[in-house]
Every structure is written in structure tokens, then in C-alpha cells.
Amino acid sequence: MRLDKFLGDQNIGTRKQIREYVKNGRCKVNGVVASKADIHIDPVKDMIAFDDVELTYSRFHYYMLNKPAGVVSSTKDGRTMTVIDILKDENVKDLSPCGRLDIDTEGLLLITDDGELIHRLLSPKKHVDKVYEVHMAKELTEADISRLEEGVDIGDKKSDGSADKTLPAKVEKAPADEEGNPVILLTIREGRFHQVKRMLEAVGNEVVFLRRLSMGSLMLDEELEPGQYRPLSEEEINNLKK
């Protein structure tokens, strides 16, 4: 692999910037200052350092974002800020959100350029668990909880015209919020359009606030404020790929 390709994949800069960095002696290969940006290196065996910080090669990039309300889960939008706009300083091409959260929904969003992982996590056949913190307009009855856990009709239809109910879910009661609204933790295994809101509407209730807490093995970092993000750890990446 060329050195400039390696450095570009690590978000060091553009190809032009990297040539300047190497020219200024900021990059070392096995402890020796690199002479040219286009020299070939072994990303596994060679020790590459930039500004004396050793770099570990990674083909793909993975970020955990605590999505704030008012931001859309897309790569481009002519009118509204997107989740990719929040990560613009990372200088990573082809980043995409893994799934979508409504514009008024907060919480965990995986953003990556690993298209294969996105496909696996979103595949309907995989049934990846997603946990939401749901603040509601009123308490759920035991009958409501049973209906949600068994699967409810949210208006979707199968090819034969019959109701396509949601898959069985899990409901866990949580303490009420500061405004006194009842709260549940709702685990679903699908990702239909406005699914959580439509499920609550199906039992005569209304979502007043919604936050996603986890997706598969990945859990929202409690230290991330809305709008903040961080790279995933190697352990988090490996667990997701399992």
C-alpha cells in the first residue's frame, strides 16, 4: 500500500495535504522519516507514525453518535443539518448512518463507511434488537403491554392484503420523567417507518419523547451529550461484527 493511501485512510488529510506533511518530515516509517508520500509500505508489518503518534491501519471507520433532535439521519439535505454534517471534521468519505432516527428522536446512531456491516445490521432476516426509551402521554395498561409484546397492527399490509403485525416486542417499565410522563424501555427487532410511534398509537397512546439506547451489542455511551460522538472501540466493533 502507498504511504499516502494509508495516511488518507486514517483521516490525516487530503492527498495534497499529505504530500506536504511528508515533505515537512512529519511522517516516519519504522522510525525513519519518510522521504516521499508515494513509497510503498506494509500496513501490517511496518510501524507508521505521524507527528510521532503510531497509527494502526483500519480500512473502515466506525463512530457512535448521540443524535440530537432537529438533525436528520441522512447524508445530504438541502435545508436541515444532517448527522454527517456533525462528523464533517473527520474527513472520511462515504460515511452513512446505519438506519434512521426521526428528526425529533435522540440517541444512539452508528455511522460508518462499512457498507457490509450496515447491510447485516439492517437486514430484516437478522432481527437485531433495538432498545428505545419511550416517554408517553399516559400509563400503559397490562392489556396494552400484552398487545405490544405480542405484536400490533400499525397499518402495514402483507402481499395478500392481511395485516402485517409487528414482531413480538419486550416492554419494561421505567421511572417517570421529570415532567411526570410515564416511561418504558421498548425492545423491538425491526426498523419500520415511525415504528415505535405507530406501535404506541395502536394501543391508544402517544410518544412525547424518544431516545434509542442500544442496537444489537452497541450501547449508547452515557458520557456523550446529544450532538457528541466518538470512535467505536475495537471491542465494540468486534462484538457488532459477531
Letter for the amino acid at 196?
V
User: Do 227 and 198 share a structural domain?
Assistant: no
User: Minimal CA–CA distance to 87: which of 227, 242, 234, 235?
Assistant: 227
* Domain limits for position 86: 60-122+222-242
| CATH number of the domain that residue 90 is part of | 3.30.70.580
| pLDDT band, very low/low/confident/very high, at 90 (cuts 50, 70, 90) | confident
User: Are 38 and 84 found together in one domain?
Assistant: no
pLDDT at 58 over 80: no
Question: Pick from 214, 207, 213: which is nearest to 135 by CA?
Answer: 207
The count of domains in the chain is 3
Per residue in 156-177, pLDDT (tens digit) is 999 999 999 999 999 999 999 9
To the nearest whole number, what is the mean pLDDT of the chain?
94
Residue 69: pLDDT band (50, 70, 90) is very high
Residues 134 and 110 in one domain: no
Mean pLDDT of 129-151: 98
pLDDT at 36 over 90: yes
Q: Do 232 and 114 share a structural domain?
A: yes
Check 77, 85, 102, 113 and give the catalytic one: 102
CA angle 42, 118, 149 (to 5 degrees): 145
* CATH code assigned at 32: 3.10.290.10
Task: Report the DSSP pairing between strands 130-136 and 207-215.
Answer: antiparallel
Tell me, yes or no, whether 198 and 237 share the same domain: no
CATH of the domain at 197: 3.30.70.1560
Q: How confident is the model at residue 188 (pLDDT cuts 50, 70, 90)?
A: very high
Predicted pLDDT of residue 15:
87
234: amino acid identity, one letter: E
Is the same domain home to 235 and 181?
no
150 and 207, same domain (yes or no): yes
Q: Is 73 exposed, middle or buried (0-12, 13-18, 19+ CB in 10 A)?
A: buried
Are both 141 and 187 inside the same structural domain?
yes
Residue 42: which region, alpha, beta or left (left: phi > 0; alpha: psi -120 to 50)?
beta
Are 19 and 79 within one domain? no
- Work out whether strand 106-112 and strand 32-33 pair parallel, antiparallel, or are unpaired: unpaired
135 and 18 housed in the same domain:
no
113 annotated active-site: no
- Identify whether residues 118 and 141 lie together within a single domain: no
- 50 and 103 in one domain? no
The neighbour count for residue 92, using CB atoms within 10 Å, is 19
